[in-house]
Amino acid sequence: MKLFEQSKCLQASILLVEDDPTCRYLLSSMLHEKNNIVHEAANGKDALTIYKKHAPDLLLTDVDIPEMNGVELITVIRESNTHIPIVVMSAEPESLRLGESAGANMSFIKMISMPVLLNLVGSLLLL
């Protein structure tokens, strides 16, 4: 938790990509707790548009999303930006491995507790 405490005064821009509205709301609420700016997308195509427009500090994406899955989204973003921290999430361990192979820095199985998520995001933003 110490890493996140050191960065709590920084306001980060996070792109959250999740097609399930309830899950997206819960994750967005957790991220807003620390005054992060959260851009939300329900599919990969919209996420790419938002990414290009807002240049977020971190990408948090589900793997199983419509129109462009999370692995494809990570691959496209990694072609132009090798430095953005990317976290991939899924209910399926195999999907997490695919996301990491595409270039995600970290991964987690859904659902995650608020303290763990905030610590994960905080540690990546300090890179």
What is residue 127's predicted lDDT score, i.e. its pLDDT? 52
Any idea what the CATH number is for the domain that residue 36 is in?
3.40.50.2300
At what angle are helices 70-80 and 93-102 packed, to 10 degrees?
20
What is residue 102's predicted lDDT score, i.e. its pLDDT? 96
Q: Which has the closest alpha carbon to 120: 56, 51, 52, 27?
A: 27
Residue 1 lies in a domain: no
The pTM score is: 0.85
Residue 4 lies in a domain: no
What is residue 115's predicted lDDT score, i.e. its pLDDT? 83
Indicate the SS3 state at residue 7.
helix
Residue 2 lies in a domain: no
Number of structural domains found in the chain: 1
Residue 3 lies in a domain: no
Residue 5 lies in a domain: no
Q: Could you tell me the residue range of the domain that residue 47 belongs to?
A: 10-125
Instruction: For the chain of 127 residues, list the mean pLDDT of each consecutive stretch of 10.
Output: 45 95 92 91 98 97 97 97 95 94 93 80 77
What is residue 7's predicted lDDT score, i.e. its pLDDT? 45
